[in-house]
Each structure stands twice: as structure tokens, then as C-alpha cells.
Amino acid sequence: MVQEIEKHLREKLIPFWEGLADWQQGGFYGYLGYDLKLDKRAEKGVILNSRILWFFSNAFLTLGEKGLLIYAEHAYLFLRDCCLDKKFGGVYWSLTCEGKAEDETKHTYNQAFAIYALSSYYAASGKREALDLAYGLYELIEKRCRDEGGYGEAYDREFVPVSNEKLSENGVMATRTMNTLLHVFEAYTELYRVDHRPDVADKLRQILDVFADKVYNPQKRRQEVFFDGEWNSLIDLHSYGHDIETSWLLDRGCQTLGDEKYTKKMEPMILAMAEEIYGRAYRNHSVMNECENGVENTNRIWWVQAESVVGFLNAWEKWPEKEYFWEAAKDIWKYICLVMVDKRAGSEWYWRVDEIGKPIEGEPIVEPWKCPYHNGRMCMEVIRRQKGKQEQEPENR
């Protein structure tokens, strides 16, 4: 499995995303349709470009090939020079193909991914400027995107709160979301990993408390998803992909933090979510999308499958006696190879397939949300974990 995944990263994912670099106008092209026609005039989503910066930075850190830094630097320069609002701070939501601000919304989720990417680029390149930019965004989130109850969501260019259409779904308009909180935590974990500033550690502890006390539903062994300003859940929704992703990202945060008290506090929640996804959502070699008001959405989404491989692998490594987690991770990888990966030349993964594995035609291969972050990270997590095991094994004598 590890060799297959490394080959997939090297021969499928990396070349595909290298081919989307826009060397004339900066950044990476923002849209490739299901028909594999590239739209060079499409908007360039900042989330997409941040995730690409994260991808190439970590591909270099994982594989050690210096050529990957060329693409990371290309993504970094676009983020630094075009995506950052020099007047009011923060990153825009999207840019035109020429690199001019198009959607000036400042979303906390978006700021977090820029921090995540810049922190990884600093680790890959050693450029202090990238770390300084990451801290600037961190301080902006804490000053402009946080209130007494927690983190806000959407703001206009000058950080006046606006409605949260961008991260509200399923017929609700949320004041707070599990998704934004998760990715702020993820970004702060990476920022703390590369620099270990005590105030960032304090924020990680505070967010862990919110997950445990506000977001997690111990009766249903799941997270709630959409909330009002007082953390009241707005909908009966079980997001399977987010729960399995959260299970390992919270564990990664606890490992990075190195605080035994919080590790012990979060472990029962981490195990419960992984077990619940295994029991409820893992069917026919893959993980379903979600369940709303008791009705299953049986589509298989590209990122849900990628996060399920990592989440089940992480659960097995923590609780090796539960071998079914390891078997599930291997099984889903086989499903990905057979069903999710688009075999057509010049393509990557399908966005989604139906319950029997038929691709949903019309879903783009690349757009502002469809990126190499989830599937690329899956590959790199598997490779790194295997390397870590090899380094821990004693030499044969």
C-alpha cells in the first residue's frame, strides 16, 4: 500500500498540479471541467492557491526533491503579492485570472488556510518572511475574527461581519461552524509545530476545550456542524467526512502540543468518532457523505475517502488491537484506485461518484474547493508514518 501511494503521489498528483501553474499571471489556474477543458480565465480561489502552496511545500518535505520548491515558491509569491490585502489585512476570497481582487470577502476559514500554507512553506524554505506573514494572519484572526463566544465566520473587506453563505449549507445560515473551527485548529497546530510560540499553544488548548464542550455530542458520538452564536446546533446533521478528519487532526494537535492533560481529555472523543464512522458510514469499501435528519447521502466524495484512509490509519496506530481500522484503510485505498481516480490522461480524481461508483458527470476536476490538499495529504501522511516506523525499528544485527 505504501509503495502504491507514493507512486500515485509522484506519478499522478504532483505532475497534474505542476501542469496547472500559470507562469504568465501567477498562481495556479482555477478551473478544469469534467470534460478536461482548462479555463484560463476562471477566478483563482485563494483557498485553492493556499492549499497548493501547502501541497508543494509538504511534497518537498516528504520526498526531498528540490524541484518541488520551485512550485511552492511560485504559489508563495502569488499569495504574498496578490492574495493579501495590503490596506485592510487578511487574504481575499478570490482573485481574477490576472491576480486582482474579485471577491473581497474576508473569511476566517480562508485566513486559516493561508496560515497553514505559510507555516509549511516556512518549514520547507526557511524563509522568515513566510513565518512573519503567518503570524500576521494569526494575530488578525485573534483581533478581528474572534468574540467572547469563539471565532466568527464571514466579514467584508474591512472586517465588518456579513452573512455566512460560503460555509453554510443544508438550508441553514450558521453564525459558527465546526468546519471553520477545525481548520483554525489545524492552522494553529502547524504554526505551533514550526515555531512553538507559547501563546499559540494557549489558543490550541482553548479550541480543544470548545471541541470537547460545545461541538462534540457525546450522546450521539459525533460532532454537530452548524451553530448559532451561542453554540446551539441548528440541524440534525452527521458529517461523516468531517468526523473522521477531525479524529486524526485533533490527535495531531495533541501530539504537537505535548500536553498530557489534553491528550487524555481528547482520546475518548477521538476513538468514539472513528468507531462511529466505521460502524455507520463505512459501507461497500468506502465512506458515505453524510446523514441529515436520518436520511443518508450515499454519494462518495473524493475528500471523504482520502480523509477516511488517514483517519482509520491513525486510529489503528493508536489502538493497534483494533485491526479493523487498518483493514478499512487498506480497503478504502483500493476503492480509491478503482473508482475515485480518473484514469483519463490529464485528469486527477473525480469530485464524487454515486453509490455504485459511477462518476457524477459535470462535476469539475479543479475549482476553488477541488485541490490537492486532501488526497495529497493522504499520500504524504501514509508515507511519513511508514518512514517513522522504519526509523523506530532497530537495525538487524
Q: What is the pLDDT of residue 388?
A: 72
Separation CA 383–CA 152 (nearest Å): 35
Long-range contacts of 122-125 (CB under 8 A, 24+ apart): 122/194, 122/195, 123/57, 123/61, 123/193, 123/194, 124/57, 124/58, 124/60, 124/61, 124/69, 124/72, 125/57, 125/69, 125/72, 125/73, 125/76
What residue spans of the chain are helical by DSSP H? 2-8, 14-18, 46-63, 67-78, 108-125, 128-144, 178-195, 198-210, 240-257, 260-280, 302-318, 323-335, 373-392
Separation CA 307–CA 310 (nearest Å): 5
Q: Confirm if 330 and 279 have CB atoms less than 8 A apart.
A: no
Q: What is the pLDDT of residue 386?
A: 87
Separation CA 122–CA 110 (nearest Å): 19
Q: Confirm if 377 and 58 have CB atoms less than 8 A apart.
A: yes
Q: What is the pLDDT of residue 169?
A: 85
User: Tens digit of pLDDT for each residue in 141-176?
Assistant: 999 999 999 999 999 999 999 999 999 988 899 999
Number of residues written out for the chain: 397
Separation CA 231–CA 37 (nearest Å): 43
Question: In whole angstroms, how large is the CA radius of gyration of the chain?
Answer: 20
Which domains are present in the chain?
Answer: 2-382 (1.50.10.10)
Q: What is the pLDDT of residue 390?
A: 60
Classify residue 28 by burial, with Cβ atoms within 10 Å: 0-12, 13-18, 19+: buried
User: What are the residue ranges in the chain where pLDDT is below 70?
Assistant: 389-397
What count of Cα atoms within 13 Å lies in the side-chain half-sphere of residue 41?
A: 0
Cell of 75: 504559489
Nearest to 231 by CA among 212, 209, 215, 208: 215
Nearest to 285 by CA among 235, 184, 353: 353
Q: What is the pLDDT of residue 340?
A: 98
Q: Confirm if 194 and 187 have CB atoms less than 8 A apart.
A: no
Write b or e for each residue in 50-68: b if 16 or more Cβ atoms lie within 10 A of its Cβ, otherwise e: bbbbbbbbbbbbbbeeeeb
Q: What is the pLDDT of residue 395?
A: 46
With cell 458520538, the residue in question is: 221
Q: What is the pLDDT of residue 391?
A: 57
Cell of 140: 488578525
* Sheet strand arrangement including 94-95: 44-45, 94-95, 101-103
Separation CA 123–CA 76 (nearest Å): 13
